[in-house]
Amino acid sequence: MKNIKLWLPLVLSLMGLAIAVYVLFSDGAGDLLQSGDFRIDPKEQVTKLTLSDQQGNMVQIENTGEGLWVLNNIGPANMAAMRDILSTLQRMDVRRPVPLERKDEVMEQLSNEGVVVEVFATSHWISLPGDIRLWPRQKKIRTFFVGRNTGDGEATYMLLMNAGRPVEIYLPGVSGGIKEVFVPKEHLWRDPVVLRLPPGQIKNIRLLWPDNRQGSFEIKHDADEGYRIKNHLGEPLERSAICPERLERYVTTFSKLYHERLIPGSGTNPPRDMVSVDGPFLEIVVTDIDGNETLMQFFRRYPPGDGSLVSSRRDHDPNRFYLRKDRGDYALAQYFVFQPVMRPLSWFLTENDQSIKKNQINQENLSES
């Protein structure tokens, strides 16, 4: 008993010191130094993500259960962006808690500018031994705030819901912060696909060159005769005048058409220096077997209005143009991707039909440029 009385004050003093140190330096963030508090276990079946900010931007991406992700219930999400964010959620780690002297500053930034991220995954009401799970449900497994990248650019400020102190999150093995992975802008998450129709799903293709009607044509699928091609007057061309390999190849080019970058809000008021006031230089309408039409309008991309030219041969960008699908927003697209569908009628003709080819030569050169 005497020994206990001698040691008790010392033990109590050490316990008090330990508690003071914990409160002073952890400030509620001690548990946040474990990677699992932010990182998502790869075994978790993520079913939905929501990203939102104080400006009213909101993105919801949900798994359809068939390997596809749907954006804001309007269409497919960008799969490259989805792979990026899922990989980030599974690998990100805590570098350190925010220093106490910067805590209030970072908390204010997160409150005013932070993006709220919610992660949902498949859970089960009942889990039994032997990996037996019954009655699946969707459950929110994480909610956290994403702020600015750190001053050194190698991490990102984040705050777990109900935590008392923000931390610096980084991606092991990767240089740079990860703020850009969680931007809640819908156009960044849209699937860049313009058209994805295999030949068996195409019923009709109408192509119009406004500056050269003779280069225009229509391809129509006939149940008995396959694909037939008509000129700008609607007159069917003889099969002997058409190269069947080129016709077949052309129809397949509509199975994978992607734009480079969508320009949000440009559909109603496009900038004057972005789209030619002369209208599209090419229009293509593709109809699928269900009767759904897709209109694609192609516009030249011009340099700034300072009198300069892109090159000595042309006054427009030779690499990129502006594409408008179904009269929606404009997108930046590459000639390299779309050149296979930008053909004049003469491209399909056999070498024996030189009369039409000579009339089309100028348009062919234009499409190949």
> 100 and 40: one domain?
yes
Tally the domains of the chain: 2
- Evaluate whether 323 touches 259 at the Cβ level (below 8 Å): yes
- Evaluate whether 356 touches 347 at the Cβ level (below 8 Å): no
> 273 and 317: one domain?
yes
> 203 and 328: one domain?
yes
pLDDT (tens digit, 0 to 9) for every residue of the chain, 369 residues total? 444 445 445 444 444 444 333 334 444 444 445 556 788 888 888 999 999 998 999 999 999 877 789 999 888 899 989 999 999 999 999 999 999 999 999 999 999 999 999 999 986 656 666 565 665 667 899 999 999 999 999 999 999 988 889 999 999 988 889 999 999 999 889 889 999 999 889 999 999 999 999 999 999 998 778 899 999 999 999 989 999 999 999 999 999 999 988 888 888 777 565 555 578 999 999 999 999 999 999 998 876 554 454 455 567 788 989 999 999 889 999 999 999 999 999 999 987 554 555 555 444 444 444
> 332 and 218: one domain?
yes
Which of 158, 189, 220 is where one domain is finished? Answer: 189
- Evaluate whether 322 touches 275 at the Cβ level (below 8 Å): yes
> 295 and 324: one domain?
yes
- The one-character DSSP state at 21 is H
> 204 and 337: one domain?
yes
Calculated CA dihedral for residues 170, 172, 176, 178, nearest 10 degrees: -50
> 142 and 85: one domain?
yes
Residue 231: domain span: 193-368
> 185 and 164: one domain?
yes
- Evaluate whether 330 touches 263 at the Cβ level (below 8 Å): yes
